[in-house]
Structure formats: C-alpha cells, structure tokens
Structure 1
Amino acid sequence: MEGQEREMSLRFLAEPADVNFGGKVHGGAVMKWIDLAAYACAAQWSGKYCITAYAGGIRFVEPIHVGNMIEVNAKVLYTGRTSMHIGIDVRAGDPTETDKYLKTHCLVIMVAVNADGKSTPVPQWEPETEHDIYLRDSAIRLMEMRKKIGAEMESFVHEA
C-alpha cells in the first residue's frame, strides 16, 4: 500500500518526573515510551487502531539520565494475519551532541482491531534486503520461543 511506513521515531527530553529513587529514569517510564512507539508504528503501518498483545525481551542496557534526548525507534519486523511484530530500540544522549547510545531494546507484538474490538487483517510486509530477511526470521524464532515460554508460564497461573 502506498503511503505506508514501517519505521518511525519519537524524540523528546527525559523529564524530572521520569526519575526513580536512584536518580535515573525509571523502567516504567521507558516501558511507556516503548508502548507509545509500538502503537504509533503499528497504527501507521496498518491504518487501524492497535492493541498491545505482548512486550518481551526488554533489556535495559544502560541507565538514562534526566535531561537526555531520547530517541525511541520502532520498526515492523514481521506481519502475521492481524499482528505486527515491532522491534524497538531506545537510544539517549546529551541533547547538545548528535550521538545517541543504545539504552534499551525489545520486541512488541501489536494486533489491529476493528470497532468491535475484534482482530482484523493488516497489510503484509515482505522483506527485501538480506538484513530485513534476518530481522523477520529472528522475529519468527522469537515468536516460537515465546509460545514455549507462555506454555511454561501457565504453571504460575493460580485458579481462583
């Protein structure tokens, strides 16, 4: 579909309200930014309202400091029938400098839904470059691992 973009970035400054007790930006703020970028990317790709189905593999590489320029990059890595696997990386650095450094990365799965809240088909994405094929295949491998982990996690669910 013409006009679809599979990649987008959010940029903003880390604010004092984002700080944790240790004086760094807290993980909850970073997770919110990840969810916002994943939604924006999925909605932009699909042209539909989307919901978060899964966020996993979140790795906090380095702390983020208040006042840092934050760049949250989101990219469609794989499309299922109604889902989009979005790769996210969070970079940050001094706003007076151009360099941004990887702080966090993860994978988010978004599902497009219709007005009734039922999942609805999304445009398919086909990788063209060797790197995009690698990213798609990695997303598929992660999906298979997630299914296995999900089955194991069922033992933690307590019946009421």
Structure 2
Amino acid sequence: MSNRQREITLRFLAEPSDVNFGGKVHGGTVMKWIDLAAYACSAGWSGEYCVTAYAGGIRFVAPIHVGNLVEVTAKVIYTGASSMHIALDVQASDPKDLNKVLTTHCIVIMVAVDTEGKPTKVPEWLPMEAEDIKLRDSAIKLMKMRKEIGNEMEMHVKLLK
C-alpha cells in the first residue's frame, strides 16, 4: 500500500447525551472516541481491518463540556509484526474561540487482522525525526512495563484462587 496515513484527527461536538451526572462528558464516551480514532489511524496505516488489543495509560486531565468541539488526534508511534502502537491526544475547545485544551491522552495498541480474524503483517514505520524516535523509544519502554505488569497481574490472579 503506497498511501499510508500515519496520523488522523477526528472531530466531534459534545452533545447533551454525552454528559454524566456531574455535567461533564462521560469518560466512556471519550474512550469510545479514542477507540474510533485509533481504528481509523491503524486501518489507514495498515490497509487492513484492525482490532483493539490494549488501551492503557488513559489520563483524564481536564473535563469536556457540552457544546465543546472535541478533537481526537491519533498517530502511529511504533509498529510490530501485526501491531501498531497509537498515541492519542484529546483536546476540547469552545467552537467559537478554538482555544484548545488537552483533556485526555493515552496509548492504544491495534492489531491488523485478515478475513479469518488472524493477525496479519503491517508495514513497518521507521522514525526519522528526533521527536518520532523519542515516541518510538517511549513505546518500547511501555511495552516492557506492560509485560512486567502482566506478570504481576497473573501472580495476583493465582493468589486469589
């Protein structure tokens, strides 16, 4: 595939149906928007149908209000054999002034799958810019940490049995 899309921004207007009892947009709604952007980004990069394998490190740093224009930016920061690590930032603003505020950020790992649902190869992403190299290195560090956390969780589950 020659036309790979490494980054995408989806935009939404926060609607009254998106609001929780505290008057702010539900965290679950934000997570849905994140998943949609991660899918669009990973499908655009790989040219394949993709599924979410992991979503982590989600940080809700500021609320989103009804009527806000919400931008979810997704960017490939690491590729494995069939997986893509996608960094996501969510920003919100009043659509009249467009003064964007970071509200949420996280990493999502997407896996490309074939028509039988089996993982399939994705094009490799090779960082060239210094910032992209830092993003890739961070993704590699996070993979190692997730493995350690996974091992610890396995031990925790065994202790609970």
Report the TM-score when normalising by structure 1. 0.96
Letter in 2 for 1:64: I
Distance in 1 (CA, whole Å) between partners of 2:68 and 2:155 is 41
Distance 1:99 1:123 in 2: 36
In structure 2, how many angstroms separate the alpha carbons of the residues matched to 1:141 and 1:93?
32
RMSD: 1.3
Equivalent residue number for residue 16 of structure 1:
16
Instruction: Write the mapping of 1:73-84 to structure 2, written as runs, cut at 5 A.
Output: 73-84=73-84
Give the drift of 1:50. 0.3
Q: 1:54 aligns to what?
A: 54
Number of aligned positions between the proteins: 160
Alpha-carbon displacement from aligned partner over 1:108-155 (angstroms, at most 9, x marks no partner): 000000011100000000000000000000011011101111111123
Question: Equivalent residues in 2 for 1:118-133 (5 A)?
Answer: 118-133=118-133
Query: Are positions 1:86 and 2:86 aligned together?
Result: yes
Which consecutive residues of structure 2, in runs of 5 or more, have no partner in the other structure?
none
CA distance in structure 2 between the partners assigned to 1:29 and 1:154 by the alignment? 30
- Secondary structure of residue in 2 paired with 1:37: helix
Q: Which one-letter code corresponds to 1:15 in the other structure?
A: E
Letter in 2 for 1:71: E
Letter matched to residue 2 of structure 1: S
Gaps of 5+ in 1: none
State the 1:99 CA deviation. Answer: 1.9
Identity of aligned residues (%): 68
2:40 paired residue number? 40
